[in-house]
Amino acid sequence: MNDVSNPFPQPVSGTVTPRFGDVATFMRLPLFRNPADVEIGMVGVPWDGGTTNRPGARHGPRQMRDLSTMMRRVHHVTGVAPYELAKCGDLGDASVNPASLDDSLERIERFYSKLHAAGVTPLSAGGDHLITLPIMRGIRKGLPPLGMVHFDAHFDTWDTYFGGYKYTHGTPFRRAVEEGLLDPKRVVQIGIRGSLYKRDDNDWAVEQGMRVITIEEYFDLGVEKVISEARRVVGEVAMRNFGFVRDRLRNIVLRADVGITEEAWEVREEQQTRVRSLQVERAREDRLLKEELNEVLDDSGDSEEEDKK
Ligand SMILES: [Mn+2]
């Protein structure tokens, strides 16, 4: 049942409308067309024109909308209901052109530029791995180069395919570093396990300063150490360089690739337990961060008043 006292849109409950009924949106949230209506906007990018093998990810957003109708509002361990903390909604799909890679990159960038200008934090569902490049082009404007936590079997930093062609699902982060969108020293790659074309395929990423945690190192370190290492890599520079908490947060991209034959990892029972305990800690840290943000905003309000005096 929807909580009428909460000002934010809530998912439609499966006790009101059955999960298999009505129109499927992300998490059964309302569909908004104006980005200014939400704080966190879920977006589909139904495009796989960067794929060099196994196409079909263009159907991903619609499938994810359908599958997300299985989710309920409240996490059973932390008790957190994310839809009470921010104004979340489905923002529909980014415009794409299935007949043109170049045009699609431009359309996706334009769509995300609008979200960025409206102050929206996007949560995107693809689509092949190349879509992250135009998304980064759209959301980086006015900010220093982005940091990234990347779960994948592959680096996605290959240079070219098919005799010098630069835009495929295997190349987005090479381009992003070249364009100054991504700060390689604030990139952590987790779960790398894909086989290589040549022994030195991954050298470029390491030479740029990306922190690579292969699947072997991941199991060796354990979940907690991997998480604190990821935080160190993406967080330290952000903490140093950004005055505002919100800019630090906007400056980090979380990207997870779901592979078919080379998935980034598999969740085992004991890992799930540890992830859940970390979620409790995360909820606590989110509260602290919010308090810090409020303090910063209060401080800036105070100084304005002093200026007027
Ligand atoms: Mn990938």
Q: What is the per-residue pLDDT across 267-289, written as a single tens digit (0 to 9) for each?
A: 555 666 677 777 788 888 888 88
Q: pLDDT over 70 for what percent of the chain?
A: 85
Q: How far is the CA of 246 from the centre of ligand 1 (A)?
A: 28
Identity at 223, one-letter amino acid code: V
Q: How far is the CA of 156 from the centre of ligand 1 (A)?
A: 5
Q: How far is the CA of 160 from the centre of ligand 1 (A)?
A: 15
Identity at 266, one-letter amino acid code: E
Q: How far is the CA of 154 from the centre of ligand 1 (A)?
A: 5
Give pTM, 2 decimals: 0.81
Q: What is the pLDDT of residues 77-136, one digit of tens each?
A: 889 998 999 999 999 999 999 999 999 999 999 999 999 999 999 999 999 999 999 999
Contact 192, 155 (CB under 8 A): yes
* Domains of the chain with CATH codes: 1-142 (3.40.800.10), 145-266 (3.40.800.10)
pLDDT at 261 over 70: no
Q: How far is the CA of 180 from the centre of ligand 1 (A)?
A: 20
Torsion, Cα of 209, 214, 217, 222 (10° steps):
100
Q: How far apart are CA 138 and CA 11, in angstroms?
A: 28
For residue 127, whether the previous peptide bond is cis, meaning omega lies within 30 degrees of 0, is yes
Torsion, Cα of 44, 47, 52, 56 (10° steps):
80
Q: How far is the CA of 129 from the centre of ligand 1 (A)?
A: 5
Q: How far is the CA of 85 from the centre of ligand 1 (A)?
A: 31
pLDDT at 33: 96
pLDDT at 282: 80
Q: How far is the CA of 306 from the centre of ligand 1 (A)?
A: 51
Provide the edge-to-edge strand list for the sheet that holds 88-93: 88-93, 40-45, 121-126
Which of 50-59, 148-157, 241-250, 284-293 shows the lowest per-residue confidence on average (mean pLDDT)? Answer: 241-250
User: Which residues line ion ligand 1, judged by CB < 5 Å?
Assistant: 129, 152, 154, 156, 257
List the one residue out of 28, 44, 35 whose CA is nearest residue 92: 44
- Greater model confidence, 50 or 271: 50
Q: How far is the CA of 301 from the centre of ligand 1 (A)?
A: 44
Q: How far is the CA of 217 from the centre of ligand 1 (A)?
A: 19
Q: How far is the CA of 14 from the centre of ligand 1 (A)?
A: 34
